[in-house]
Protein backbone atom coordinates (compact mmCIF):
# COMPACT_ATOMS: atom_id res chain seq x y z
CA UNK A 1 0.00 0.00 0.00
CA UNK A 2 1.47 3.37 -1.02
CA UNK A 3 -1.18 5.61 0.53
CA UNK A 4 0.00 7.49 3.65
CA UNK A 5 -2.25 8.14 6.67
CA UNK A 6 -1.14 10.94 8.99
CA UNK A 7 -2.46 12.41 12.20
CA UNK A 8 -2.07 16.08 13.12
CA UNK A 9 -3.81 16.81 16.41
CA UNK A 10 -3.66 18.68 19.71
CA UNK A 11 -4.20 17.16 23.14
CA UNK A 12 -4.30 18.41 26.69
CA UNK A 13 -1.33 17.31 28.78
CA UNK A 14 -3.59 14.58 30.20
CA UNK A 15 -4.27 13.20 26.73
CA UNK A 16 -7.72 14.50 25.80
CA UNK A 17 -8.74 15.96 22.44
CA UNK A 18 -11.96 17.54 23.74
CA UNK A 19 -13.98 17.85 26.95
CA UNK A 20 -16.64 15.16 27.53
CA UNK A 21 -19.20 17.38 25.74
CA UNK A 22 -16.82 17.90 22.80
CA UNK A 23 -15.85 21.45 23.69
CA UNK A 24 -12.46 22.82 22.74
CA UNK A 25 -12.40 25.98 24.89
CA UNK A 26 -9.11 24.84 26.51
CA UNK A 27 -7.26 25.04 23.16
CA UNK A 28 -5.30 28.30 22.72
CA UNK A 29 -7.24 30.71 20.51
CA UNK A 30 -4.09 31.56 18.57
CA UNK A 31 -0.61 30.14 18.45
CA UNK A 32 2.19 32.46 19.65
CA UNK A 33 3.65 35.10 17.31
CA UNK A 34 1.47 34.26 14.32
CA UNK A 35 3.02 30.78 14.32
CA UNK A 36 0.81 28.22 12.54
CA UNK A 37 2.55 25.27 14.19
CA UNK A 38 3.30 23.69 10.83
CA UNK A 39 -0.36 23.41 9.90
CA UNK A 40 -0.08 24.96 6.42
CA UNK A 41 2.86 22.73 5.50
CA UNK A 42 0.95 19.72 6.78
CA UNK A 43 -2.19 20.76 4.91
CA UNK A 44 -0.20 21.22 1.70
CA UNK A 45 1.14 17.68 2.08
CA UNK A 46 -2.27 15.96 2.14
CA UNK A 47 -4.87 15.46 -0.57
CA UNK A 48 -7.64 13.89 1.50
CA UNK A 49 -9.24 14.53 4.88
CA UNK A 50 -10.82 11.57 6.65
CA UNK A 51 -12.74 12.39 9.81
CA UNK A 52 -15.20 10.75 12.14
CA UNK A 53 -18.77 11.94 12.38
CA UNK A 54 -18.01 13.55 15.76
CA UNK A 55 -15.30 15.75 14.29
CA UNK A 56 -17.41 16.52 11.21
CA UNK A 57 -20.24 17.79 13.43
CA UNK A 58 -17.80 19.91 15.43
CA UNK A 59 -16.14 21.42 12.35
CA UNK A 60 -19.61 22.40 11.08
CA UNK A 61 -19.94 24.71 14.10
CA UNK A 62 -16.77 26.62 13.13
CA UNK A 63 -18.54 28.42 10.24
CA UNK A 64 -16.99 28.19 6.79
CA UNK A 65 -16.04 24.65 5.76
CA UNK A 66 -12.23 24.68 5.96
CA UNK A 67 -11.44 21.79 3.61
CA UNK A 68 -13.02 23.00 0.37
CA UNK A 69 -9.96 22.11 -1.70
CA UNK A 70 -9.51 18.61 -0.26
CA UNK A 71 -11.27 15.38 -0.93
CA UNK A 72 -13.16 14.74 2.33
CA UNK A 73 -14.64 11.55 3.72
CA UNK A 74 -16.76 11.35 6.89
CA UNK A 75 -16.75 8.00 8.66
CA UNK A 76 -19.88 6.70 10.37
CA UNK A 77 -21.19 3.23 11.16
CA UNK A 78 -24.46 4.40 9.62
CA UNK A 79 -24.98 7.07 7.01
CA UNK A 80 -23.61 10.40 8.21
CA UNK A 81 -25.97 13.27 7.43
CA UNK A 82 -23.95 15.65 5.28
CA UNK A 83 -25.15 19.26 5.14
CA UNK A 84 -26.79 19.93 1.76
CA UNK A 85 -24.32 22.57 0.53
CA UNK A 86 -21.40 20.27 1.40
CA UNK A 87 -22.74 17.20 -0.39
CA UNK A 88 -20.71 17.88 -3.55
CA UNK A 89 -17.53 18.08 -1.43
CA UNK A 90 -17.95 15.31 1.12
CA UNK A 91 -18.44 11.57 0.88
CA UNK A 92 -19.78 9.50 3.75
CA UNK A 93 -18.38 6.02 4.36
CA UNK A 94 -19.09 3.15 6.71
CA UNK A 95 -16.26 0.95 5.42
CA UNK A 96 -13.92 -0.66 7.94
CA UNK A 97 -10.44 0.94 8.01
CA UNK A 98 -8.63 -1.57 5.73
CA UNK A 99 -11.44 -1.60 3.17
CA UNK A 100 -11.61 2.19 3.27
CA UNK A 101 -7.84 2.42 2.78
CA UNK A 102 -8.11 0.17 -0.29
CA UNK A 103 -11.01 2.27 -1.63
CA UNK A 104 -9.21 5.58 -1.07
CA UNK A 105 -6.06 4.30 -2.73
CA UNK A 106 -7.97 2.85 -5.69
CA UNK A 107 -9.76 6.18 -6.17
CA UNK A 108 -6.65 8.35 -6.19
CA UNK A 109 -5.87 9.44 -2.63
CA UNK A 110 -2.18 9.42 -1.79
CA UNK A 111 -1.85 11.28 1.48
CA UNK A 112 -4.67 11.28 4.03
CA UNK A 113 -5.21 13.42 7.15
CA UNK A 114 -6.96 11.21 9.70
CA UNK A 115 -8.90 13.22 12.28
CA UNK A 116 -11.11 12.48 15.27
CA UNK A 117 -10.37 10.36 18.33
CA UNK A 118 -12.34 7.23 17.47
CA UNK A 119 -11.28 7.37 13.83
CA UNK A 120 -7.61 7.69 14.74
CA UNK A 121 -7.96 4.84 17.24
CA UNK A 122 -9.52 2.54 14.67
CA UNK A 123 -6.87 3.34 12.05
CA UNK A 124 -4.08 2.83 14.60
CA UNK A 125 -5.67 -0.46 15.64
CA UNK A 126 -5.69 -1.53 11.97
CA UNK A 127 -1.99 -0.63 11.64
CA UNK A 128 -2.66 2.01 8.99
CA UNK A 129 -1.24 5.19 10.55
CA UNK A 130 2.24 6.18 9.34
CA UNK A 131 2.89 9.44 11.14
CA UNK A 132 1.55 11.34 14.16
CA UNK A 133 2.14 15.04 14.80
CA UNK A 134 0.99 15.73 18.33
CA UNK A 135 0.79 19.20 19.84
CA UNK A 136 0.53 18.97 23.61
CA UNK A 137 -1.15 21.94 25.29
CA UNK A 138 0.08 22.59 28.85
CA UNK A 139 -3.30 22.22 30.53
CA UNK A 140 -4.92 19.40 32.50
CA UNK A 141 -8.66 19.14 31.83
CA UNK A 142 -9.32 16.07 33.96
CA UNK A 143 -11.82 14.32 31.71
CA UNK A 144 -12.71 14.20 28.07
CA UNK A 145 -12.49 12.33 24.80
CA UNK A 146 -9.20 10.45 24.65
CA UNK A 147 -6.85 10.49 21.69
CA UNK A 148 -5.62 6.96 22.22
CA UNK A 149 -7.43 3.77 23.19
CA UNK A 150 -7.07 -0.01 23.35
CA UNK A 151 -4.73 -1.75 20.92
CA UNK A 152 -4.21 -5.40 20.07
CA UNK A 153 -0.42 -4.96 20.20
CA UNK A 154 2.07 -2.28 21.20
CA UNK A 155 2.76 0.39 18.60
CA UNK A 156 6.36 1.62 18.55
CA UNK A 157 7.18 5.01 17.13
CA UNK A 158 10.35 6.89 16.28
CA UNK A 159 10.60 10.56 17.16
CA UNK A 160 11.24 12.51 13.93
CA UNK A 161 11.20 16.03 15.38
CA UNK A 162 10.14 17.99 18.42
CA UNK A 163 9.87 21.68 19.19
CA UNK A 164 8.39 23.89 21.86
CA UNK A 165 6.59 27.22 21.62
CA UNK A 166 6.67 30.33 23.80
CA UNK A 167 3.28 29.46 25.32
CA UNK A 168 4.50 26.05 26.50
CA UNK A 169 3.02 23.91 23.74
CA UNK A 170 5.24 21.03 22.65
CA UNK A 171 4.85 19.59 19.17
CA UNK A 172 6.37 16.25 18.28
CA UNK A 173 6.22 14.25 15.09
CA UNK A 174 6.47 10.48 15.37
CA UNK A 175 6.85 7.92 12.61
CA UNK A 176 5.17 4.59 13.29
CA UNK A 177 7.67 1.74 13.08
CA UNK A 178 6.76 -1.01 10.65
N1 LIG B 1 -7.94 18.55 19.80
C2 LIG B 1 -7.98 18.43 18.49
O3 LIG B 1 -7.03 18.79 17.78
C4 LIG B 1 -9.17 17.78 17.86
C5 LIG B 1 -9.09 17.30 16.54
C6 LIG B 1 -10.18 16.65 15.99
C7 LIG B 1 -11.34 16.48 16.73
N8 LIG B 1 -11.38 16.98 17.99
C9 LIG B 1 -12.61 16.81 18.79
O10 LIG B 1 -12.86 15.45 18.98
C11 LIG B 1 -14.27 15.22 19.07
C12 LIG B 1 -14.65 14.06 18.14
O13 LIG B 1 -13.86 12.94 18.45
P14 LIG B 1 -14.47 11.50 18.64
O15 LIG B 1 -13.65 10.76 19.64
O16 LIG B 1 -15.93 11.60 18.83
O17 LIG B 1 -14.17 10.75 17.27
P18 LIG B 1 -14.54 10.93 15.74
O19 LIG B 1 -13.70 9.90 15.08
O20 LIG B 1 -14.45 12.33 15.29
O21 LIG B 1 -16.10 10.54 15.61
C22 LIG B 1 -16.55 9.33 16.12
C23 LIG B 1 -17.60 8.76 15.18
O24 LIG B 1 -17.03 8.51 13.91
C25 LIG B 1 -17.53 7.29 13.41
N26 LIG B 1 -16.42 6.33 13.34
C27 LIG B 1 -15.20 6.44 13.85
N28 LIG B 1 -14.45 5.35 13.55
C29 LIG B 1 -15.24 4.56 12.82
C30 LIG B 1 -15.06 3.30 12.19
N31 LIG B 1 -13.89 2.64 12.24
N32 LIG B 1 -16.08 2.76 11.53
C33 LIG B 1 -17.26 3.40 11.46
N34 LIG B 1 -17.50 4.61 12.03
C35 LIG B 1 -16.50 5.17 12.70
C36 LIG B 1 -18.63 6.85 14.36
O37 LIG B 1 -19.81 7.52 13.90
P38 LIG B 1 -21.30 6.93 14.16
O39 LIG B 1 -21.58 7.17 15.61
O40 LIG B 1 -22.17 7.75 13.25
O41 LIG B 1 -21.27 5.48 13.81
C42 LIG B 1 -18.15 7.45 15.65
O43 LIG B 1 -19.17 7.62 16.63
C44 LIG B 1 -14.95 16.53 18.69
O45 LIG B 1 -15.38 17.17 19.87
C46 LIG B 1 -13.83 17.34 18.06
O47 LIG B 1 -13.95 18.70 18.28
C48 LIG B 1 -10.33 17.60 18.57
Phi and psi at residue 118, to the nearest 5°: -65, -35
Whether the predicted pLDDT of 106 surpasses 90? yes
Percent of the chain with pLDDT over 90: 92
- pLDDT tens for each residue of 33-77: 778 899 999 999 999 999 999 999 999 999 999 999 999 999 999
Q: State mean pLDDT over 105-128.
A: 98
- Given ligand 1 and candidates 43, 52, 93, 101, which is best to mutate, with the most ligand atoms within 8 Å of its CB? 52
The model's confidence at residue 29, banded by pLDDT at 50, 70 and 90, is confident
Q: State mean pLDDT over 149-178.
A: 96
Task: Write out residues with Cβ below 6 Å of ligand 1.
Answer: 9-10, 17-18, 22, 24, 51-55, 58, 75-78, 80, 94, 97, 115-119, 122, 145
Q: Say if residues 19 and 144 touch (Cβ distance below 8 Å).
A: yes
Nearest CA to ligand 1 atom 7: 116
CA distances (Å), origin 59, targets 67, 85, 111, 149, 176:
10, 14, 21, 22, 27
- Domains annotated on the chain, with CATH: 4-176 (3.40.430.10)
pTM value is: 0.97
Amino acid sequence: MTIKFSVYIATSLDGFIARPDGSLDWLPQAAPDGEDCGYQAFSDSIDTVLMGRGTYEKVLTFGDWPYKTKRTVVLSSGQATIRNDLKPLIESSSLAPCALADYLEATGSKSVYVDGGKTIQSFLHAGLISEITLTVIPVLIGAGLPLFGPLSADVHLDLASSRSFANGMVQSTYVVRR
